[in-house]
Structure 1
Amino acid sequence: MTDTINTAVEASAADVVADLTTEEKASLTSGADFWTTKSVDRVGLPSILLTDGPHGVRLQRADSDHLGIGDSVPATCFPPAVALGSSFDVDLLERVGTALGEEARAEGVGVLLGPGINIKRSPLCGRNFEYLSEDPIASGVLGSALVRGLQSQGVGASLKHFAANNQEADRMRVSADIDERPLREIYLRGFQRVVEDEQPWTVMCSYNRLNGVYTSEDPWLLTKVLRDEWGFEGLVVSDWGAVNDRVTGLVAGLDLEMPSSAGRTDAQLVAAVQAGTLDEAVLDLAALRNVELVQKAVRGARADASYDVDTHHALAREAAGASIVLLKNEGVLPLAADASVAVIGELARTPRYQGAGSSQINPTRLDNALDEIRVLAGAGAEVPFAAGYAADATTSDELTAEAVAVASAASTVLLFLGVPAEQESEGFDREDLELPAGQTELLDAVLAANANVVIVLANGGVVRLSGLADRVPAIVEGWLLGQAGGGAVADVLYGVVNPSGRLAETIPVRLADSPAYLDFPGEHSHVRYGEGLFVGYRWYDARDLAVTYPFGHGLSYTTFEYADASATASAEGIAVRVTVTNTGDRDGAEVVQVYTSLAGSSIVRAPRELKGFAKVALAAGESREVEVPVRREDLAYWDTRVDQWVVEGGEYTVEVGASSRDIRSVATVAVEGDAVSAPLSMNSSIGELIAHPVAGPIILQALSAGNEGDGPDVGGALLADPSMFKMMASFPIGRLASFPGMPVSMDQVEQLIAASNAQGA
């Protein structure tokens, strides 16, 4: 058997498929059980194991015939994506990806299901803890780093959930109805970045429909865009249970159905081939991709693979520390080792460190903040604790009285608050952005006893802080930080780690201000993305809305100054340079953010868009020139007239700053645009014809020549009166040409349009 398996792995995938029966080929395109693919023993092709991620290896202990969320082998629970996104640290995420690959390989896993890079369209999405950002560039760059690290260990990634999986409500059926520009520029752009840069072994299609079509059977999405345009070479796997029609899905480009259908849908494929309704070449192609995936996984496997549990725990702590965002600090942090502190909040003792649902990891160990704070407070230091509320976030008079007594006796109160898993999970969306009522009541009581309160948050999505942020001197956004998050929080509170996380999503003043508020979660299995391009900070900036904390915001225990931004354009894009100086007395790291805009653009645009970022570590007093490249393709918009990416030429403003609303240095740069010749028709406006490089000069010359007949000189009047010209610019040329007094006839216009289109083609 060993020799046979080696032959099947080392042979060309095409030769392996050529040796298979129709039934065997069909069998390869669905799972053997919940987590494994089917083997074909006759030709020596083994099965491989796929298992949940994305922030750890969730591998079932027992038989792999069910979901088994609570029954998995111990693995390092790294910070979920909600935290990692706020690190803005590409190198760190690649190292986390590498560690995930090491653990997956040690457990015999061929494909780890992650990362998830869906856009945080609404802060209510119950699965936002699994996603990186509200911005597609941030999601694509950081997602690429995770995939790069994971696949460096011979383990495949599964980029998910493709596409427009932005809510949990009705997730198995809902149609995300999105215009093509926002679809391309916001919801697909991150996926495109990861696919083109890293070639993930698999892409996982989502449950939902996209513009009325299930993503599992959408040839436009799975073949035209993913493969033909982006050059994806791997395998498309369904989300578990996402297949609606197996035959239709296969034709569309879905290669592997998971989990097993007990052979039922395999038989449908065989029957369709036999009936002539399914071209067997389509089945051959899907089988080929499955064989190629098995070959990659087997070649990447190592029987002696292992990993160091302690080293990975230390990496988890480092990653958590780099992901914490210091939202506010009025001099109370960092704490001195001998500071008089009290800890209040059950979350300090019983941490919520990951999201609820299919991504739950059984950690190798679990730190809590209370124990770690007591370690850093020093030997002999007393750190009193009061739970304040129960594990379900409810409180009582007794718990509140105990908390007030503890708060009254300390100089500084560390108050741990957060959203319980019962309110934030895969499978359903949040109902609001509020902290539990019992916790806010506790806060009121504690503040009445001691105003020097540091709030430490634990939540998978943003919570409303308006009305709270101005009542306390410091707020630490701890997100969900994985198994080592307790130690990381203590590190930041005591200054062992200088906080360097930045918000990868906006914290609004209120839910009603958020972009999707009126179009979430939809009705009758349809949700209209009515905000279009204006997702996240794009929305708040375009409407000039106040926010509690903007995208990219985060404080440090040191300060940074920016100077002398410059931007140089080339065929590759824009090279942005800026000098950043650590002007404080502590070493720290700054996230340098680059935003672009184009005044006078011919298309609708946000006031600014993130196009690049870099995390730079600087010693106290150190100054360094930082270069942030902006790819030319990231400047492009999707031109619906010609169905392609287009860079609009012009004088771009390049803003370099510490958040979307904290711009520190500005430069301008001229960017040469792409030549675009939109096809003309008799329904094209006079303004569009004049703007056309071929038709424009001819039309202007004709108008200037005037009318030689007896009728009114319409052309001359248009050129002589700017207001009339502006009014008539949107008039279809086919209708204007029939007006009396026009210098060109209908036939001449038709000939001009035909010639212009032929020359522009």
Structure 2
Amino acid sequence: MKYRDIISEMTREEKASLMSGKDFWQTMDIERLGIPSIFLADGPHGIRKQAEAADHLGLNESIPATCFPTAATVANSWNEKLAMQMGVHLGKEAVDQKVNVLLGPGINMKRSPLAGRNFEYFSEDPYLAGKLAAGMIKGIQSQGISACVKHFAVNNQEERRMSIDTIVDERTLREIYLTAFEIAVKEGETKAVMSAYNMLNGEYTNENLHLMKEILRDEWHYDGVVVTDWGGSNDRVAGLIAGNELEMPTAAGETNQEIVTAIERGKIKEDVLDQCVDRLLDLIFTTEEAFNQEPKMVDKTAHHQMAQLVAEESIILLKNEANILPLQQDKKVAIIGDFAKETRYQGAGSSIVNPTFLDHPLDLLEEPELNSIGYEQGFDRYGKRSARKINKACALAKQADVVLLYIGLDEVTEAEGLDRQSMEIPANQIELLDALYEVNSNIVVVLSCGAAVEMPWITKVKGLVHAYLSGQAGAKAVQRIITGAVNPSGKLAETYPLQYEDTPAYHQFPGKEVSVEYREGPYIGYRYYDRADDVDVLFPFGYGLSYTTFAYSDMQLSKDGVTLNITNTGKVAGKEVVQLYVGCQSRAIFRPEKELKGFTKVALNAGETKKVTIRFDDKTFRYFNVKTNQWEIESADYKIMIGAASDDIRLEDTIFVEGTEAPLPYNKDTLPTYYSGKANQVSVEEFEALLGHKVPNPKWDRTKPLDYNDTIAQCQYAKGRFARFVFRLIKFSHKLLWKLGKRDTANLIMMSVYHMPFRGYARMTGGVINMPMVDGVLMIVNGHFFKGVRHVLRERKKLVKLNKDKGEFSTSKTGEGEVL
């Protein structure tokens, strides 16, 4: 151990105290041994360090920080170096605000377009997500502090996220849901990993020995810290055994005592605790060194410009009929849409950033590049219909050569803790678009949202610029793209289906009660659409237009990789993302038609040609074999494809690769759907054949008493009348608040009350409620009202007395027990 000497001087209680937070954002300190507290702060795309009362939901305002584009946006840049540069800027701001651990990036896969936190995640592809995350982590940690990659693992829905059991087969787990984390750990060398709330195949992730020890520690050789998601600890001792060092936020000493008791009773050896303490001390001491340097003032203007640069490379041109873009200066432009006045630039929840500056499209109208004739709101942001607003917008549109229409999803639709209900843009925005089309067909849409949406209206627009959630400088970046000052170079990091029903997880998302089954296996995103011949998509993975054109030629293939020439055949400079896909030609093992295995972004002047090299790596030909329980290579011909998008392959060749000659892992006859690739309606029997065991009952047992991991939502089945009344009251309150327009509050009820497991009220309240009090609440819920109330009051009284005694002790003692 690195800090054996310090650990040897610590009492068992002191060691246990380090395993839980001091408060909502800080770790515990031990002053007598020179062990300081360190600060952890949300920050996938900007620092959220709260100056006032702490919360985890984004309610209380934080210290101003640069709001960079969200991960869903950055992914569209396909630029590892740019992600690293953004990480450097994040790291500098973290140091400036005395933040030791920045809680990001988030790299969970986009299994379904409706997952509420998709705006915080990079891609549907693990290779792309992992590479961009590794770049960002390197940038953050170059400043001496730590990144914290999250949420480990298979955290792909928000509904019941703190207790849902994710059922996934081992191969899909490894190839799809863990590969990005593997890259982040091995290449990014992240110092911290955040465990997910959910269960994985029957065990909570931070207690899952297969995930935490066998894979993360033993296979990937990770020696950093694992921290729970806030309130995500179920069994503290089981988590410690699995190597989960830090529980956040504070449990006011309750779980520390559980650790001490477990050691005293021989349930765990003290060496397990010592190893965890050693890893946490390393994180504490190494990140504290970042603050020993001469402080440097953050140049807020320069960081704002960096946010703009990231946005400019990440915004995507999806449609440009008749070259309506870039807009010519002599064209009269009508600016329409509520998002033009109040820009939509980030998601909601724990990642919300208080920006240092904030550009709005209307603020930029006075600049000469855009010949604006005026602005109309056109629609209400939160869906209320208004014929008056539409009529005024149409009157303005009649006077214009081009209509620039800003539409998208609002802030309460894309939020942590809630999944979206549909892939549709609000109806009042589409009504506006339809009306505008009748008076002026030259419409350019600027779309702002953090995930895929349906676009049945796309035939009525000539131009479509997808800004995603492009941060505080996004409005300026969009303007520079639509006026031609910047040539768009973003490419989609996710597939856009024609309709939600076409998505591979449609029948299995979200899990509503006990579990969610990943029956589609490895066929997510383009991996599914490539094999499902009868399912067309709106925009394929990797797609994006430019104001110039590119030609691919002279492909040369070797055992080490591929080289080719790429030429800018247009009249303006531009950047192209060259994408490498690999497809195994054997059918002995079911696989996608092709998988992304490399990419690079190339800047080219008009007429310029460059030679591009993309090297193969250890992930190019591998698959996970469930019989040998390790990565193998199949002896076969492999098609090597170079494309401008997943469905736009420009060059291809074939190479034979000698494999590892592992035994075949599957009986083909039992898995016909997986071998066909049309895996959107897999039977439970076939899924169980893939898993190798029965799936758990996905429904709640309505007959059993509710316990710690049940939720308020389940109180509809509770034996206690009071609990059933509370359930109906919460449902009514949510519906009423939503109708009154108080949607943030309505969402908060669903996230922090309705879907919160009962144990969460102890884990998330910083010691205000403890587990014995939760026991009393459960007595009430299960039909013992008066007994439960007495128990809650009795335990609350004990807790208050205990806290009072602790306070008196801490203020009356110092050093070796000397009285002040």
TM-score (norm 1): 0.86
Show CA shifts across 1:456-481 (max 9, x none).
1010111101x222221111111000
Q: Which moved more, 1:468-477 or 1:615-624?
A: 468-477
Show CA shifts across 1:188-234 (max 9, x none).
00100110112211000000000111001111111110010001110
Partner of residue 17, structure 1: 7
Contact 1:35 1:65 in 2 (8 A): no
Counterpart AA for 1:581? T
Match of 2:662 among 665, 676, 679: 676
Q: Distance in 2 between matches of 1:456 and 1:395?
A: 20
Match of 1:326 among 301, 305, 317: 317
Counterpart AA for 2:399? A
Partner of residue 591, structure 1: 577
Q: Distance in 1 between matches of 2:116 and 2:483?
A: 32
Alignment of 1:88-487 (within 5 A): 88-301=78-291, 302=293, 304-330=295-321, 331-377=323-369, 381-465=371-455, 467-487=456-476
Secondary structure (helix, strand or coil) at the match of 1:198 reads coil
Q: Which moved more, 1:355-364 or 1:54-63?
A: 54-63
Secondary structure (helix, strand or coil) at the match of 2:616 reads strand
Q: Distance in 2 between matches of 1:345 and 1:592?
A: 35
Counterpart AA for 1:458? S
Counterpart AA for 2:514? S
Show CA shifts across 1:689-739 (max 9, x none).
xxxxxxxxxxxxxxxxxxxxxxxxxxxxxxxxxxxxxxxxxxxxxxxxxxx
Q: Which moved more, 1:117-126 or 1:291-300?
A: 291-300
Match of 2:77 among 80, 87, 93: 87
Show CA shifts across 1:578-635 (max 9, x none).
1111000000000000101111232101011111100000000001111112213332
Secondary structure (helix, strand or coil) at the match of 2:194 reads strand
Secondary structure (helix, strand or coil) at the match of 1:348 reads helix
Partner of residue 59, structure 1: 49
1:649 Cα deviation after fit: 2.0
1:53 to 1:268, Cα distance in 2 relative to 1, 3 A: same
Counterpart AA for 1:591? V
Counterpart AA for 2:305? A
Counterpart AA for 1:214? Y
Secondary structure (helix, strand or coil) at the match of 2:297 reads coil
Counterpart AA for 2:328? A
Secondary structure (helix, strand or coil) at the match of 1:424 reads coil
Partner of residue 616, structure 1: 602
Contact 2:627 2:663 in 1 (8 A): no
Counterpart AA for 1:640? V
Secondary structure (helix, strand or coil) at the match of 2:226 reads strand
1:576 Cα deviation after fit: 1.3
Does 1:497 pair with 2:478? Answer: no
Q: For structure 2, which runs of at least 5 residues remain unmatched after alignment? A: 670-820
Q: Distance in 2 between matches of 1:608 and 1:383?
A: 48
Partner of residue 699, structure 1: none
1:176 Cα deviation after fit: 0.9
1:152 to 1:61, Cα distance in 2 relative to 1, 3 A: same
Q: For structure 1, which runs of at least 5 residues remain unmatched after alignment? A: 1-10, 686-761
Show CA shifts across 1:308-361 (max 9, x none).
101000000010111111001011000112321111001011011000100000
Q: Distance in 2 between matches of 1:404 and 1:13?
A: 70
Partner of residue 537, structure 2: 547
Show CA shifts across 1:231-269 (max 9, x none).
111000000011000001100111100000001000111
1:677 to 1:373, Cα distance in 2 relative to 1, 3 A: same
Q: Which moved more, 1:242-251 or 1:330-339?
A: 330-339
1:684 to 1:514, Cα distance in 2 relative to 1, 3 A: closer
1:394 Cα deviation after fit: 2.6
1:389 Cα deviation after fit: 1.1
Q: Distance in 1 between matches of 2:314 and 2:181?
A: 23
Q: Which moved more, 1:190-199 or 1:254-263?
A: 190-199
Match of 2:631 among 628, 645, 648: 645
Counterpart AA for 1:154? G
1:372 Cα deviation after fit: 2.3
Counterpart AA for 1:416? Y
Q: Distance in 2 between matches of 1:23 and 1:633?
A: 45
Secondary structure (helix, strand or coil) at the match of 1:148 reads helix
Counterpart AA for 1:510? Q
Q: Distance in 2 between matches of 1:211 and 1:373?
A: 54
Q: Distance in 1 between matches of 2:612 and 2:248?
A: 46
Match of 2:644 among 658, 667, 678: 658
1:678 Cα deviation after fit: 7.4
Contact 2:162 2:232 in 1 (8 A): yes
1:224 to 1:12, Cα distance in 2 relative to 1, 3 A: closer
Does 1:511 pair with 2:500? Answer: yes
Show CA shifts across 1:485-534 (max 9, x none).
00001011001110000000000010000010000012422000010010
Contact 1:642 1:678 in 2 (8 A): no
Percent sequence identity over matched residues?
46
Secondary structure (helix, strand or coil) at the match of 1:631 reads coil
Q: Distance in 1 between matches of 2:548 and 2:327?
A: 14
Q: Distance in 2 between matches of 1:65 and 1:455?
A: 36
Q: Distance in 2 between matches of 1:371 and 1:14?
A: 58
Secondary structure (helix, strand or coil) at the match of 2:114 reads coil
Q: Distance in 1 between matches of 2:3 and 2:420?
A: 46
4+ runs of 1 displaced by more than 4 Å? 63-68, 677-680
1:227 to 1:12, Cα distance in 2 relative to 1, 3 A: closer
Counterpart AA for 2:428? G
Q: Distance in 2 between matches of 1:54 and 1:65?
A: 17
1:522 to 1:593, Cα distance in 2 relative to 1, 3 A: same
Contact 2:373 2:400 in 1 (8 A): no
Q: Distance in 2 between matches of 1:560 and 1:393?
A: 41
Secondary structure (helix, strand or coil) at the match of 1:291 reads helix
Partner of residue 510, structure 2: 521
Show CA shifts across 1:343-395 (max 9, x none).
100101101100010000000000012222441436xx443110001232433
Q: Distance in 2 between matches of 1:345 and 1:195?
A: 43
Contact 1:393 1:420 in 2 (8 A): no
Larger radius of gyration: 1
Secondary structure (helix, strand or coil) at the match of 1:633 reads coil
1:546 Cα deviation after fit: 0.5
Contact 1:49 1:108 in 2 (8 A): yes
Matched length: 666
Q: Which moved more, 1:101-110 or 1:597-606?
A: 597-606
Contact 1:81 1:130 in 2 (8 A): yes
Contact 1:50 1:110 in 2 (8 A): yes
Q: Distance in 2 between matches of 1:390 and 1:247?
A: 51
Counterpart AA for 1:500? S
Q: Distance in 2 between matches of 1:214 and 1:193?
A: 23
1:566 Cα deviation after fit: 2.2
Q: Distance in 2 between matches of 1:627 and 1:472?
A: 38
